Amino acid sequence: MKCLRASDDGDAGRYLSDFAAEVSALEACSGHPSIVQPRASGHLGSKAFLAMEFVGPTLRYVMKHVRYGRRHTELEVRLLMRQLCAGVRWMNRLGLMHRDLKPDNVLVDNHGNLKICDLGLSCSMADGPPYSNPVGTRGYCAPELLLGCTNYDEHVDSWALGIMMAELLAGKHPFHGRSDTEDLGKILDLLGTADIKEWSGYNGRRLPGGCQLGSFLRNKFPCQVEARMKGLPTLLEAGFEVLSGLLRCNPEKRLTTEQALKHRWFKEANPRATRS
């Protein structure tokens, strides 16, 4: 049950509009097994209520308090990512961006299945840009968002999925900064500056960090032999192609969820079927 109370600052109209947008987005996505299902909604005085199916704890809670930061295996990550990508693809096909994907907004049921929740910042792409920015949670914001872009699209969701995939594999967030600039610097330090400079939206501004042009991402997620030697998370070449495709700094070259789910990585282990 989600209970929201209108603020006393005279902004009740926007509050009611945002609440209605979340209810509308959930109802539009109704029926997909990887998105939490709405049950009822309504208003009582200055409060608004949204009842949803009961699922279980958040993925963040499971990662921190059940697994205690232990890494997920590549097979586990493949199964989880297929569910997440399928849920986000469903939203994107409906013309919606989630815009706040993170482990805190994913629920885990008692069978280990995932359901995306909290569509409060979701946005319809029907009317086109400009879209609001800043939006979402900084650690999961795509580079174009950190650069202040308002002409973005569903590729911002793909980036957040890439961060979550890296986090599941490594047991920790790959880019933790204390500001937009610091986050962007850490991203470019690892992924290089060449990719973002090829983006048509790049205006030539000076970029933080990122002294090298190429990416060092493969060094963080090496093949099995090297991973055993260095104690790093292992990732086969097919898996790395998905990870690096989701974590492209240039949104024009970043994988969509549609493209990601067609990748051979999701077919090699025949992960359990999820409605698309």
Q: How far is CA 15 from CA 11, 47, 101, 133, 234, in A?
A: 6, 10, 21, 18, 45
Residue 273 pLDDT grade (very low, low, confident, very high; cuts 50, 70, 90): very low
Sorting pLDDT into bands at 50, 70 and 90, what band is 45? Answer: confident
In the chain, the percentage of residues whose pLDDT exceeds 70 is: 93
Mean pLDDT value of segment 152-165: 98
DSSP H helices in the chain: 12-28, 59-61, 74-93, 143-146, 155-170, 180-191, 194-197, 217-220, 224-230, 237-246, 257-261, 265-268
Q: What is the rounded CA–CA span in Å between residue 132 and residue 103?
A: 22
User: Which positions are annotated as active-site residues?
Assistant: 100
pLDDT tops 80 at residue 224: no
Is the model's pLDDT at 145 over the cut of 90? yes
**59-268: CATH architecture:** Orthogonal Bundle (1.10)
What's 128's DSSP letter? -
**Residues shown for the chain:** 276
Residue 246 in this model has a pLDDT that exceeds 60: yes
Dihedral sign (CA 81, 83, 84, 90): positive
- Look at the alpha carbons of 137, 219, 268, 72 in this order and tell me if their dihedral is positive or negative: negative
Residue 234 pLDDT more than 60?
yes
pLDDT one-digit tens code per residue, 80-123? 999 999 999 999 999 999 999 999 999 999 999 999 999 999 99
Instruction: Give the span between the Cα atoms of 137 and 140, in whole angstroms.
Output: 6
What's the whole-model pTM score? 0.92
Round the average pLDDT of the chain to a whole number and report it: 90
- Domain(s) labelled CATH 1.10.510.10 in the chain stretch across 59-268
The 10s digit of each residue's pLDDT in 10-41 is 565 666 777 888 999 999 999 999 999 999 99
User: Which of 7-16, 157-166, 216-225, 242-251 has the weakest average pLDDT?
Assistant: 7-16
pLDDT category at 210 given cuts 50, 70, 90 is: low
